[in-house]
Structure 1
């Protein structure tokens, strides 16, 4: 660093290695009666070829000098570090250390929930498989264990649980229908059958509600539906045996013919359906005596041949 022509005993000489070389000992040496101690030297800095598991990397040389870089590619299902698939040889080795691991997890966007102190956690991301973080759900949403908070874990397949916050629906009322005696809770994806008052049905004529991300579908409300009156059916020579006076939409009911009468297709009973515009038909029963029976032909007698 400050060269002189000669040095006296015990004088120190300081030196600096050129780029790409490092000190074998330290950056100075002392003049002694046996010469320079320790002997000044600059050794070429190199990195051994890295062994990268789960990669396709094949080294093209036996040593890499400081400053030289490599590019490697991972096998299917494995990923390089967040800083990329390039590593450079430095004084302290490869930077960043080349590796092919499971895919890291980006900052989780939790629908209907959030990480505890998420703004403080952001420097931890992307997260490595195995890392866990606490999170909590919004009002009316719960974790898979039905608590308000839980832990979300980074795995090789991404974050788990896949659905951190699920809707919690409460069934405690049913407009125009029979409500439960005590409020009941249902999780997103589950269904419950309901019992509407006569002449009422759920929206779209459904008989059950499903707890969805946005609440009950259809809503817990029974609406009046078109009905058919028993009094509007006049069955000639027949009758409806049911005791009901009204029938809901799409209800099928059976009618019977009086003794000695049959339906037009020859049966003693038939069916009619309550449709949007009323009964599907105005049936009638006809007398058995008016029913045409199929003709019956007897086999002809054996023909007789006579001489010409």
Structure 2
């Protein structure tokens, strides 16, 4: 009887506890203001904030929104000095260190380009100057990079995530399907990116010797 009563109490108590955990407390926002101002915010509720003169939100624009999600704000409302810089989104690269919410005036940071891309910046660094990054981060494709390789009949690329661009000297291994081999007693091979082109792969040939098996290979090739 006691156990049943305790179970009923828990069933009545847990939803309230979970709902309370999903609430957000109002953010502590200095040098700015937000609406609506409430004692607590429900899951999914959004507030809007702006900053005092000489400051700006830590996201793009002179005003910003943040939403209560499972007890936390989608970004912590914050106002930073107007001379600071927000991180830039740029293609085919990233910041060397973990990206921060904002960077102070005159602060520098390095960028790293993705595989197959190079930066034209001499030092690889960009600097925040009165709210603007200089020079702008750009990652350009290397002239010796390769596109993703073409199809190799009866084979699949192994141990490598397929990408759109590969750097010079990138090496990809492939494995032939069951019943096929590439070369003498090998089940696969490798191709290498050399000066913008992939080396020629060894063909995956039928390794079965008797007539029935050979016919099975021929049937597979017609599919």
User: TM-score band (shorter)?
Assistant: 0.3 to 0.5
Q: From the two aligned structures, give the one with the greater helix fraction.
A: 2
* TM-score scaled by length of structure 1: 0.29
Larger Rg: 1
- Looking at both structures, which has the greater relative contact order when contacts are Cα pairs under 8 Å and sequence separation is at least 6? 2
